[in-house]
Amino acid sequence: MILLGSTGSIGVNTLEVAKKFSISVEALVAGNNIDLLNSQIKEHNPKIVVIANKEDVYRVEHPHVFYGQEAILDVIKNSSSELVVNALVGFLGLRPTLTALECKKRVALANKESLVACGAFIDTTKIQPIDSEHFGLWYLMQNRPVEKMIITASGGAFRDWELERLQHATLADTQNHPNWSMGQKITIDSATMVNKIFELLEARWLFGEGCYDAIIETKSLIHALIDFKDGSTTAHFAHASMQLPIAFALDGKMQENILPHVDLLKVGSLEFREITTDRYPIWQIKDELLKNPSRGVVVNAANEAAIEKFISGKIGFMEIAKTIIQSYEKFDALPKSVDDVFALDEEVRRSIR
């Protein structure tokens, strides 16, 4: 396989699963964590390595090191691997997804932004999602009429804060996730609930038109639920580990134990909460966005641009959602091609900058 984003949490877990199933790694693509990358190179012996920046090439302990976006695309085009695991963060993961599909490769997708921004122009039959929520929905699927598909949220760093405090939340505050440690951007997205907006859009492109929603489950043990039209509901329980969806993406048969089972007696109880617009203002565009999922490119571009301004101290935490909603109201054109997606993305970012 080719692994894009090898030094992130999903990349690290993917390599653990690859080792367990003796899957060879043809190429590793990473960003700036060269020390971790070098340890991965020693263990997995890839043929090619790609990193983000030219100035770091000399630090990489491998004879075939390239850098930059074009190098990622070239590796995908020239590889013999049939599987590309895309665990890149942000819009920069879109072109690798499109290139892999053009090359008739199967894509194990953790890059939310690919489907959020460009779902209308992506053949999802070649995509295996490795988000735990979409994996959970897929796992629960049966040949029975579905009423609603539901994914769960942790609630993020501020789920228990008094609402008045949110205006003064800092970048450091956003990183205090109650359930686990993730990268900076995804942890901010969890705090704003943008990540669940994205996952609902992904679900819409993966599973088709229908009714989609999300609720908070504070222990992150239930990842998805399906309401069937007969009145029954099924839930997917599993410990919060990306290794389970990754394992199914790498080996569809999956007849081995990956995780310990959830012991409900030890869990004792579960708590569910509604996602409200006073704590998570982005939720007010959820229903309209699901009716017009092609507008996801605007939401994604606005989110990434707003997060840049938040990180640099130019706006406050609550202004992230405000910026996204303003852009959503301003840019209402629907992209008619992949080129339109890239053009609209740049126009939205330029407007916010």
What does the alpha-carbon distance between residue 111 and residue 148 come to, in Å, rounded to a whole number? Answer: 24
Q: What DSSP character marks residue 216?
A: E
Q: What residue type is 260 in one-letter code?
A: P
* H or E element at residue 299: helix 296-311
pLDDT at 288: 96
Query: For residue 57, which of 39, 78, 34 has the smallest C-alpha distance?
Result: 34
Options 3.20.20.70, 3.40.50.720, 3.30.2000.20, 3.30.565.10; which CATH number does 2-130 get? 3.40.50.720
Residue at token pair 């869990």 = 267
Asked if residues 154 and 190 have their Cβ atoms less than 8 Å apart, the reply is yes
Q: Which residues pair with 146 in a beta bridge?
A: 228
Q: What DSSP character marks residue 335?
A: P
pLDDT at 177: 86
Q: Where are the domains of the chain?
A: 2-130, 133-291
CB neighbour list of residue 267: distance below 8 Å, 6 or more residues apart = 219, 221
What does the alpha-carbon distance between residue 330 and residue 186 come to, in Å, rounded to a whole number? Answer: 25
Using CA atoms, how far residue 251 sits from 23, 85, 207, 258, 263, in Å, is: 10, 13, 21, 12, 26
Query: For residue 30, which of 78, 101, 87 has the smallest C-alpha distance?
Result: 87
Q: Is the dihedral of CA 36, 41, 44, 49 positive or negative?
A: positive
Residue 83 corresponds to which tokens in the numbers above?
Answer: 């599987």
Q: What residue type is 144 in one-letter code?
A: R
What is the reported pTM?
A: 0.93
Number of H helices, E strands in the chain: 15, 12
pLDDT tens, per residue, the chain with 353 residues:
999 999 998 999 999 999 988 999 999 999 999 999 999 999 999 999 999 999 999 999 999 999 999 999 999 999 999 999 999 999 999 999 999 999 999 999 999 999 999 999 999 998 998 889 999 999 999 889 999 999 999 999 999 999 999 999 999 999 988 877 778 898 999 999 999 999 999 999 999 999 999 999 999 999 999 999 999 999 999 998 888 888 888 876 777 888 899 999 999 999 999 999 999 999 999 999 999 999 999 999 999 999 999 999 999 999 999 999 999 999 999 999 999 999 999 999 999 99
What does the alpha-carbon distance between residue 39 and residue 266 come to, in Å, rounded to a whole number? Answer: 37
Query: For residue 41, which of 54, 55, 27 has the smallest C-alpha distance?
Result: 27
Q: Which residues of 291-327 are buried (b: 16+ CB within 10 A; e: fewer)?
A: eebbbbbbbbbbbbbbbebbeeeebebbebbebbbeb
Q: Is the dihedral of CA 217, 222, 226, 232 positive or negative?
A: negative
